[in-house]
């Protein structure tokens, strides 16, 4: 089953996560194409070429980036006709524990509306990388006041686990060698007494002497 992973990224974390998801799905023998949604509308992927789709975006101010949100709204009929998974990339892991818990329990309305359009099998929220240069001056002040911490919060184990759940829900594609291998037949081991396998007609040859009844002379 061919899978499309498409994404919109701002600082690269969503692209990195999309790439890791693709690698994991390929290990499960699923053909995968990875496409950015940040180009022109005519560059959008053709959904008719894919049997399943994974769509992701960075989250800014509680909403997906415009290219990803527009893609879901414009293609929601085609997306809803095939298995779809969605993922969002934010900065939840950078928050203090109390705020992190509140963020985990909440779901921003713009994201809920997109999910209602396509009814994904799952929507997963990842954390990405947050650097001072990613924020405005006001954002950096607020970030510090909230007690947040800069750093990379991309979790490889979390990505692999979610990718495995997707792979398990897709029909399995046989690997290059097919679903099973036929082991080559080994020749029989030599008999220390000199006996060889039965000859045609039930005769055996033992130490150079045939046990087959002698043929009548004449």
Could you tell me the residue range of the domain that residue 70 belongs to? 3-169
Is residue 216 in some structural domain?
Answer: no
The predicted pLDDT at position 1 comes to 80
Residue-level length of the chain? 218
Is residue 182 in some structural domain?
Answer: no
The predicted pLDDT at position 151 comes to 93
CATH number at residue 84: 3.40.50.360
Is residue 214 in some structural domain?
Answer: no
Is residue 212 in some structural domain?
Answer: no
Give CA–CA dist 4/54, Å, rounded: 6
Token representation of residue 155: 């979790």
Burial readout 113-131 (b: 16 or more C-beta within 10 A, e: otherwise):
ebbeebebeebbbbbbbbe
Give CA–CA dist 187/100, Å, rounded: 65
Is residue 14 in some structural domain?
Answer: yes
Give CA–CA dist 5/44, Å, rounded: 12
Is residue 31 in some structural domain?
Answer: yes
**Domain count within the chain:** 1
The predicted pLDDT at position 94 comes to 87
Q: What is the DSSP letter of 76?
A: H
Q: DSSP string spanning 31-52? A: -EEEEESSS-GGGS--GGG-SE
Is residue 47 in some structural domain?
Answer: yes
Does the global pTM surpass 0.85?
Answer: no
Residues of the chain with pLDDT under 70: 104-106, 173-218
């Amino acid at each position: 089953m061919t899978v499309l992973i498409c994404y919109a990224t701002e600082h690269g974390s969503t692209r990195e996560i999309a790439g890791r998801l693709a690698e994991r799905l390929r290990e499960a023998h699923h053909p995968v194409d990875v496409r950015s949604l940040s180009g022109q509308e005519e560059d959008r992927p053709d959904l008719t070429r894919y049997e399943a789709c994974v769509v992701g975006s960075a989250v800014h101010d509680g909403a997906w980036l415009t290219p990803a949100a527009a893609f879901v709204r414009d293609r929601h009929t085609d997306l809803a006709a095939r298995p779809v998974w969605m993922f969002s990339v934010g900065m939840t892991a950078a928050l203090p524990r109390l705020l992190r818990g509140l963020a985990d329990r909440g779901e921003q309305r713009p994201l809920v509306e997109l999910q209602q359009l396509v009814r994904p099998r799952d929507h997963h929220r990842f954390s990405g990388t947050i650097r001072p240069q990613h924020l405005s001056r006001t954002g950096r002040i607020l970030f510090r006041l909230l007690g947040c911490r800069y750093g990379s919060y991309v979790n490889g184990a979390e990505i692999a686990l979610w990718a495995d759940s997707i792979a398990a829900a897709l029909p399995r594609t046989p690997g290059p060698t097919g679903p099973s291998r036929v082991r080559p037949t080994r020749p029989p081991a030599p008999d220390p007494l000199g006996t060889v396998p039965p000859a045609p007609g039930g005769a055996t040859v033992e130490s150079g002497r045939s046990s087959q009844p002698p043929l009548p002379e004449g």
